[in-house]
Structure 1
Amino acid sequence: MSDGAKRKTGLTANAVKHARPRDKDYKLSDRDGLYLLVKTTGIRYWRMNYRFGGQQRTLSFGRWPEILLGDAREMLLEARRQLAKGLDPLEQAKLEKIAKSIAATNTFQAVAEEWLAKIEKEGLAPITLKKARWLLAQTYPVLGRRPISEITAHELLLVLKKIEASKRYDTANRIRSTCSQVFRYAIATARAERDICSDLRGALVTPRTNHRAAITTAADAGALLRAVEDYEGNALTRIALRLLPHLFVRPGELRWAEWSEFDFDKAVWTIPDHKMKMRRPHAVPLSRQALAIIGEIEHDASYSGFLFPSLRALDRPMSDNTINAALRRLGFSKDQMTGHGFRAMAATLLNEMGIWNPDAIERQLAHADGNSIRRAYARGQYWEERVRMMQHWSDYIDQLRDGATILRPKFGHSAS
């Protein structure tokens, strides 16, 4: 074959494969400016020489056999297209390398972990952080290494549908919501253009809301309170179970209660913002009954910082299932009463009294108020009313507990 014919047809895959090292580096020319540089070590590189801006430049496409002959020719063709557009292929290659490096640090998992670190610094409750990490971790096997800007709504939907197929409908919806927060953070930090999660609204099964079981009539409340007084389990659990109706805070807030948060001289418990669902500090007036019940606790802060420490570790609070387990032991099923149900019981009966401002009740329940000005106003205006209300409430539920005229109903037990 003539030299002209060889230049026209170029190299063959076999010729590239059998190119052997020599005493000096040498080139095997292909076509259109592509050549194989064979090093003395035997390593082979695909390269092209070209002129740009009056200067001679060399572009490397990679090493054989990672880059095969056909691949190198495709890369050469793209470089020639860039030259035709007035672009420098070498500079374009550098920019692409930088883009890939940035993309590698902007994977969905990397951005998600950065967002988690941010909300942790903002004081989000440990239990909420743990839940968010658990939800996001379920997307990592499929989406974790994907650049967040390249993830499509369909990709995320496939992940969510797989979770939904196991009938974990609420989990799938919570993951979508948490991922949405990550995407919004990515937008704010210039790592994504839009929140793809918004495209999935209505695509998932929405589970029917099951309101927490609660006893909300005066007669049934009296029976419940008498049952609580008869509790024969752990002494500290009994105190917590008796205290919760007087305070009607969320069970988790009671579990994590610390001695340092109580001002017994002023009869107030101030729960810090990082322990509250709405991320705002909350003050709970302590009635005489609540103070007396707390006074029955036989340890102080030198023993454990928590009022209700775990039986296994003094630096941890009691289990999150302790209150509900105690209610089950008393015979109340999960469909009849839960620790959270004491809030509904208080809200219902206090409103039925008709003597308390509904806003004062809502404020004592630490419910959210979307209007920040109104929220600040309510906090100041209703404090004295809340103090009176909490004492009245304790007096009232004591009367319900002791009321001889209130019959104790049977909660779901069949007649023997």
Structure 2
Amino acid sequence: MTKQSNWLDRINPTVRSIQPSGIRRFFDLVAEMKGVVSLGVGEPDFVTPWHIREACVYSLEKGYTMYTSNHGLLELREEIARDLSSSYRVSYNPREEILITVGVSEAFDLAMRTVLCPGDEVLIPAPSYVSYAPVTLMTGAVPVYLSTSMESGFQVSPEMVEKAITPQTKVLLLCNPNNPTGSTIDRKRLLEIAEIARAHDLIVVSDEIYGRLTYVGEHTCIPSLPGMRDRTILLNGFSKSHAMTGWRIGYAAGHPDFISAMTKIHQYTMLCAPITAQVAALEALKNGKSGMHKMVEHYNHRRRLVMQAFREIGLPCSEPRGAFYAFPEIRSTGLSSEDFAQQLLKEEKVAVVPGNAFGEQGEGFIRCSYAASVDDLTEAFRRMNSFVKRRVNKGKILTFSFGKNESKKEGICQTV
């Protein structure tokens, strides 16, 4: 007689203990409903500009359907190196210090698996992107959270970093601008944090996928700071800045020892990023600045409208200085983050992400993406106002009129 196995007990205990993504779990509910206005998933509402798609089409017509080098197309790596040098004043050898990956998600996974050992500690400013802690745990390392607050604009401080360091601390993870809060780290503060990283010999993993979407001040690329280039693994990509989420194309840049080790894992698990996506990314870098700047202008316009809307509704919200998220506090409603999101979806068909999806430090908040059309934002905030009014506001229902959808008639910035 065959013994019946309990398959759950056969699964790796670390994997078994990790909870599914709070974002994706919540949006399984959204997919089953009609008439929902979504401010949830962090995805541009713009279609990838046509000239980028066209480059991909032409590459297929020419028969570009083969593997590339594990490192990725050399021409793309060379263009990335030129872009980083001109934009952020940091230089990399495209042959040895840049690796093309399947999105920044793979780059992050490779970086963490490359440098972490069981028992190492990783400093993570919180609230934090949903992947950071689980990927850290899957390496056997330990996430150590640096709790930020709305009062400080969700900025991580040098004092927080210094205080959290122990003999086991190996990596400082930064997301600048931050998902989910939209906070940024200015150059002065980043210089102080860099000094601490050097003093304690920390490796910095810097996720800069939203770097181009910085609205207040200038984005500072941490490897460009004194003594930081060789101890930083820079992660970046094209999903947010060029509306290329579905292309799954990103990259890592860093010291050749880091990149060589990351490439070992990459070649045995992923082998290479799809060649068509690499060709598209090359076109984006060569000829995509104009379209990127137009999209960023639209995001910035929406950002200001969203901040105005939250003020009128009465939900406190720290000004997002980058990315395309607002992270308002909803405690005045008497609801938890999860209850607020679920009831808003059920009663008003507006989808937002509960703040606790980004860790316990996000409880009492929700994340709203303003990578949505002005028409959708207008309708979403009209409904959200009605929802909040029934709980805390006793005045009249506010009427929001953000204006026409600014992107529908743009030749480059077409909406989905």
> Normalising by the residue count of structure 1, what TM-score does the alignment of the two structures yield?
0.24
Structure with higher Rg: it is 1
Q: Which has the higher contact order (CA 8 A, sep 6+)?
A: 2
Larger helix share, 1 or 2: 1
